[in-house]
Structure formats: C-alpha cells, structure tokens
C-alpha cells in the first residue's frame, strides 16, 4: 500500500540527476542494464532507494505505485514479511557454500510439482543462463544444431539469440548486436509470432533443427497473446518434425496461475525455462524437463553446465517463501479483476481524450499500445507511437505511478495492490492521457 503519493506539482528529481551524472564516470551509461537508462522515454533515469508492499521510493523521496516490480519477481509485493523472515533466517547460516543445501531440493519439488512434464530441474543464476543451457540441452538430446526463435521474443543476451529478422517472415538471422559474429547466429532462424507457416517453412527447408524457443505470451514486445490455437498447433508441428519445444517462462511463470501459462493453452513444452518469481527478487533461473531429457545433463549425462552460485541458499529461501505465500494467496482471479479495471481506466481515458489506444493483458501482465492496430506480433507492436508513450510515461511518473521506461516492456501487478493504489493509478492515467492528447 502507498501511504502518501506525490502530485506532479511537488515531484523533484535532483538527487537522481546528481547520481546519474556521478554514475557516468564508472558505470556504462550510469546503469547496469540498458532499459534503466530511460533512452526510449527521454530524460535521466530514476535511482531507487527502497520499496515496501506495492510502493517504491526514489532517492528524492518520491513515492510511486510500482508496476515494474523488478520486471516481475515481486509478485507478493516488496519485502513481504514471510519472505523477509525466511531471508533473515537463511542469512544467519551463511551466504554461499559452493555445496548442496536442503532448500535446493525443497524448491525443486515445488517447481516440478507446478509443471506437468517436468520431472527434474536445474537451478542457475539468471534467465539468460537458463535459456542458453536449455538450448545446449536440446542440441545434446536431438543431435541437431539449428534453433528457431520468434521476432520480438527476447531470451537473454547470449550470442545465438541476439539476432534481428531479415526482410522476410522466414529468413536466416543476422547479428543484432555489435560483437556477435555471424558464425554465432548461423544456426538461429527467425519466425513471426502467431504465424505457424513461418515456422513450417523453416522445418521444410532445414532438417537439422533441434528446437523452437518461444515466450508463450510475448512479454518483451509488450504482452502479445497467442491467437487461434497457435501454441498447441506449434507443439503438434514440432512433434511431427521431431523438434523440441522450449517454453521461455522466465517472465510468465507463476504470473497467470501457479505454474506456467502452457497449461492454460493446452500445451506441454519439452523444456521449460524459469526465473523472476521463483527467486522472489534474488538472481535465480532454472530449466527443467522430463527425466529422459534432463538426464543428459552432467553429472548424469554428457551435456556440461555448472555454476558456483547456482542454488544460492539465500535465493532458495526467498524462492520457497515467495512461492509458498503465492500458493496460499492464490491471487490469480484477483489479478484478472485488477487488470480488467486498469484496462478500463486506460480505454475510458483514451476515449475521453480521443487518443488511439489498444490494451493487451494476460493474468497479472498488461501493456497499452498507442495504435489503432490489433497487436498480435512484433510488427504490429511496432506500430505503437513511442513518442506518445514517452509523454505518457513521464506524466505517470509525475503522478505517482512507476512504469517500465519502454513501450515494449510489460506492466506487472502484485497481490499487494489495494483500492487506494487503484485510485492513484486511475488519476495518473487520466492526467497522462490528457497530456498525450495535447501532443
């Protein structure tokens, strides 16, 4: 709950500006992840001091309703008392051992029980690490080299996945970042989300495809939802061609149900990647599958993957407490209700001010697009007016709502949101939409 909320009249950012200038000396762009630089919305980045429940506070003392939530993991709110208690208890025993602990087994059971078709899981330290390990596993299991990914789906910054689509819907990839050699992406093929034919074309032209990797609900192009049985048809296609399906649920895991969104779309991936929520705010990733696949992983098999900090005891304690509290709360019906209300705030305000807007939402994730197009893939997501989003973003900030500083990042809900927060959000949306209409 946010006890007090700013208005744009008393919002100041002097300390954030000072820290930004200071950070430029020894940090790249004064940040440690590009989106934090606020490049796509303009202005200097905000520096955060603390958070509690549904609220977050910057170094200038400005308070916000938090719809970023560290990009998803703070699903039960910041510093939940039960999670905090578990972390403090774990800290008393030590921070890292480079050896196994009982809590790794406990969290593994919670995760595996929540996903059908997942017998074993391997914990790692990030979603990126989970994904590139899963790809290595798919290649080891199938004996094939190529993978298919979808334009607009982000799977971390491993070389093979930093690719940009060519001029066609089904094309060989080109490096999407300086420093990525062409050889690193030569086995990565690009398809269009919600376009099964773009996948089938690759399957027909390439006989050495190990896996297709997908965000079941696209969260890195602004919440894009699979249409017309796309996921179940994709799974059937993969099975017919002997290709593994990898579901990247780093973002969607535990956000629309206790488990993954695969079940909601009647799909069971061969390998699932997780992160975010299962660490409760600590650096955690995981990949899991049925026994016959996971037993390829060292020490049971010849696919090597290791990590000194994997299964960190503090992260395991936080993850167990977060998932236990989440299962107890079962907030998913409430999430849908709250998301529906925020969607109505956005659409009603857009209509009031004659602003073109569509809203995509799924469970506790949502995103508005300043376009009249239905957003069903990356090209349609890119029709959104990002300049309008920049105006909208800063007005939301000035009216006490903390949003991701990018049109193409999802908003996240926590179970700590209450009616007073919704009033702040509604008021902020109306002020922001009014400002957009003046542009």
List, by residue number, the catalytic residues: 154, 248, 276
CB neighbourhood size of 117 (10 A): 17
Sign for the pseudo-dihedral over CA of 32, 147, 254, 429: positive
Under DSSP, the state recorded for 297 is B
- For residue 402, what are the contacts with CB-CB under 8 A and spacing of at least 6? 46, 56, 64, 65, 66, 67, 68, 396
Identify the three-state secondary structure at position 148.
Answer: strand
Q: Label the pairing between strands 401-402 and 63-66.
A: parallel
CB 111 within 8 A of CB 338: no
Distances (CA, A) of 118 to 21, 239, 289, 299: 47, 17, 4, 18
User: Long-range contacts: 355-360, Cβ < 8 Å, 24+?
Assistant: 355/388, 355/433, 355/436, 355/437, 356/385, 360/222, 360/223, 360/224, 360/225
Q: What is the largest CA-CA distance in the chain?
A: 62
CB 148 within 8 A of CB 191: yes
- For residue 431, what are the contacts with CB-CB under 8 A and spacing of at least 6? 8, 395, 398, 399
Count helices and strands in the chain by DSSP H and E runs: 13, 17
Helix axes 419-438, 332-352, angle to 10 degrees: 30
From 96, 258, 254, 152, select the one nearest 104 (Cα to Cα): 96
């Amino acid at each position: 709950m946010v006890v007090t909320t700013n208005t744009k009249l008393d919002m100041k950012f002097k300390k954030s500006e000072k820290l930004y200038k200071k950070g430029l000396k020894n940090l790249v762009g004064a940040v440690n992840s590009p989106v934090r630089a606020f490049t796509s919305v303009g202005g200097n980045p905000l520096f955060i001091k603390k958070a509690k429940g549904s609220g977050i506070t910057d170094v200038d003392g400005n308070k916000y309703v938090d719809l970023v939530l560290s990009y998803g993991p703070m699903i039960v709110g910041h510093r939940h008392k039960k999670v905090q208690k578990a972390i403090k208890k774990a800290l008393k025993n030590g921070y890292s051992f480079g050896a196994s602990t009982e809590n790794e087994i406990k969290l593994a059971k919670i995760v595996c029980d929540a996903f059908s078709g997942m017998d074993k899981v391997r914990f790692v330290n990030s979603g990126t690490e989970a994904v590139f390990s899963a790809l290595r596993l798919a290649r080891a299991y199938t004996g094939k080299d190529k993978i298919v990914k979808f334009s607009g789906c982000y799977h971390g910054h491993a070389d093979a996945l930093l690719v940009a689509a060519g001029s066609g819907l089904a094309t060989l990839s080109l490096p999407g970042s300086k420093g990525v050699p062409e050889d690193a992406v030569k086995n990565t093929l690009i398809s269009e989300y919600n376009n099964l034919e773009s996948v089938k074309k690759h399957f027909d032209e390439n006989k050495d495809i190990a896996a297709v990797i997908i965000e079941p609900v696209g969260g890195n192009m602004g919440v894009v939802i699979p249409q017309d049985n796309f996921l179940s048809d994709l799974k059937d296609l993969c099975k017919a061609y002997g290709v593994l399906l990898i579901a990247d649920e780093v973002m969607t895991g535990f956000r629309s149900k206790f488990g993954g969104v695969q079940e909601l779309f009647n799909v069971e991936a061969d390998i699932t990647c997780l992160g975010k929520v299962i660490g409760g705010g600590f650096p955690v990733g995981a990949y899991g599958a049925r026994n016959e696949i996971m037993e390829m992983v060292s020490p049971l098999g010849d696919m090597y993957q290791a990590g000194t900090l994997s299964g960190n005891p503090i992260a395991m304690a936080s993850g167990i407490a977060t998932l236990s509290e989440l299962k107890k709360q079962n907030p998913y019906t409430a999430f849908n209700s709250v998301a529906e209300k925020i969607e109505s705030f956005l659409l009603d305000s857009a209509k009031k001010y004659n602003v073109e807007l569509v809203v995509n939402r799924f469970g506790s994730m949502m995103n508005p697009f300043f376009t009249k197009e239905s957003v069903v893939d990356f090209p349609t997501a890119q029709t959104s007016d990002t300049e309008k989003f920049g105006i909208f973003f800063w007005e939301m900030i000035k009216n006490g709502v903390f949003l991701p500083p990018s049109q193409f990042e999802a908003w996240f809900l926590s179970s700590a949101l209450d009616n007073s927060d919704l009033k702040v959000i509604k008021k902020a949306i109306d002020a922001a939409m009014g400002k957009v209409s003046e542009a």
